[in-house]
Structure 1
Amino acid sequence: MMRSRPALLAAVLTAGPALALAGCGGSDGSDGADGPEGAGGDGGSTVAVPPPSAPTSAAPALPDGVTTTAAGTELGLGEQATVAWQVGADRQAVVDLTVVGVQPAPLELFDGWLLNGVADEVAPYFVTYAVENVGDDDLAAAAMPLFLGYGAEGALVAASGFAATFEPCPSTPLPIPFEPGAATEGCLVYLAPSDQPVTAVAFQATGDVAPVTWGAVAPR
């Protein structure tokens, strides 16, 4: 059942940076070459998922006949929202988005990946979703402003990316191409602080409105 609760998570974004994970053996990172433009590492690796832009105060324009889900709406896992955000300077994203599941992921799955010395401080989560492009623009390689909320203050962390293919949960942007009417399913990796409870998944495109959230996150 849908309910509006604007204070579920902080309306002003407190997002942690996305952590790019590099394989430490067995891969040269070439699998990330089809991703969006990202930060190149010393070994020429490419970050698969850049952190989404920080929310702005400008509300995106909508195609005729499209109504987005009200800010502050709280959904259950498996429920659909219509959401919109600006992609760069010239693309407007409007999608039907469903957060399907949120599950803790064992650290053992990250054996062979470098966690930048923070393995003892993070708790990984897999967020699965389904999305359909209901707008007018091709959303190729767009990163959704979809965050994982944690802690009593409602802080948000962005999805992490990989310098090569991570089979359990690829954590990549939208496909290339992703034209109007296209639909896909995906999985994103989030690294929350291990000493904080995870509370919800949050879509937040602008910093002056409450996010749309999906609750019922599985406990660790």
Structure 2
Amino acid sequence: MTTVSSLSMRAGATALAGVLALGALAGCSDDGGDQAEADEPTTGTTATETTSAAPTDYLTVPSSVTLTEPGTDLGLTETASVAWEPRQDAVVALDLTVDRIDETSFKESFEGWVVTKQMKGQTPYFVHVTATNVGDAPVGGLLVPLYALAGGSSLYEPLDFRDETFEPCPGGKLPKRLKAGKTADLCFVYLLPQVEPFMSAAFDPVGDLAPITWTGEITEIEKPKKDEKKRAKKPGNEQRG
């Protein structure tokens, strides 16, 4: 599979320091422990705070949470209860809803960003997700381990935005502090080889368990008109609830 290491924003003749990192992998497992922001550690649910394990028995979560069975195939707008362990003493539990999957192009959505020759053989996708913290403690600063399933068995990581905000689709990181019961709107960006079109969004549980997937119609995004861009509200992942 093709790996794109970086993407930079162009300002005149100067490349800015805005960098997006993308990894591509097959049969991957969650590595969210490296993604917490240093100044805002994830809290999550600790093992001593929980009272029961979900029937799926792949992670211990609060008794009010029933994790969705690994291998479940959902449609768009359906919700799954998922969990992962960003570090040994914490479990993050979320209700995830994949609302929409958009296929776009570099011409339509990446104006002002440096597109390398390597990237031109790939297709960008935006995946819009609603995430609710169903744990019993705040969490924050984590890139949710939601992947793009392509080619039947290949899982592709989302872009991880670092220095610059990609306004058309800001990324899949949770807000710095998402309180228990609160909801955030996320937008994941994936670059897939043209020979492997997007099949499903996939949450990959721990170990060798089958991913939970969302499958549905992939819509084509349309480039907004200039006057609409001016009126559009700057996107983000502000929490609500």
TM over 0.5: yes
In the alignment, does 2:218 pair up with 1:218?
A: yes
Q: Looking at both structures, which has the greater relative contact order when contacts are Cα pairs under 8 Å and sequence separation is at least 6?
A: 1
Unaligned runs of 5+ in 1: 1-14, 30-42
Structure 2: gaps of 5 or more residues? 32-56, 221-241
Tell me the alpha carbon deviations over residues 163-196 of structure 1, each in whole angstroms, 9 at most, x when there is no partner: 3111111114100111211111121101011121
CA distance in 1: counterparts of 2:199 and 2:7, whole angstroms: 24
**Residues 110 and 203 (structure 1), Cα distance of their counterparts in 2 relative to 1, 3 Å cut:** same
1:120 is paired with a residue whose SS is helix
Q: Structure 1 pair 47/191, CA: closer, same or farther in 2 (3 Å)?
A: closer
* Identical counterparts, % of pairs: 32
Question: How far apart are residue 48 of structure 1 and its match?
Answer: 7.9
| Alpha-carbon distance between aligned partners in 1 of 2:137 and 2:23, rounded to the nearest angstrom | 20
- Contact 2:147–2:201 (Cα < 8 Å) also in 1: yes
- Relative to structure 1, the CA distance from residue 210 to residue 111 in structure 2 (aligned partners, 3 Å threshold; closer, same or farther) is same
Distance 1:16 1:180 in 2: 38
Please give the alpha-carbon distance, in whole angstroms, between the structure 2 residues aligned to 1:25 and 1:116: 16
Question: How many aligned positions are there?
Answer: 190
Which protein is bigger by CA-based radius of gyration? 2
- The separation in 1 between residues aligned to 2:101 and 2:91, in whole angstroms, is 27
The 8 Å contact of residues 94 and 134 in structure 2, kept in 1 or not, is answered as yes
Deviations 1:67-93 (A, max 9, x none): 101111111000011001012233211
RMSD in angstroms over aligned alpha carbons?
3.0
Deviation at 1:137, TM superposition (A): 3.0
Residue identity in the other structure for 1:76: G
1:169–1:82 Cα change, 3 Å: same
Correspondences of 1:126-141 after superposition (within 5 Å): 126-141=126-141
Who is 1:55 aligned against?
30
Q: Distance in 2 between matches of 1:18 and 1:203?
A: 21
TM-score where L is the length of structure 1: 0.75
Q: Deviations over 1:96-137 (max 9, x none)?
A: 110000010121121322344322211000000111000023
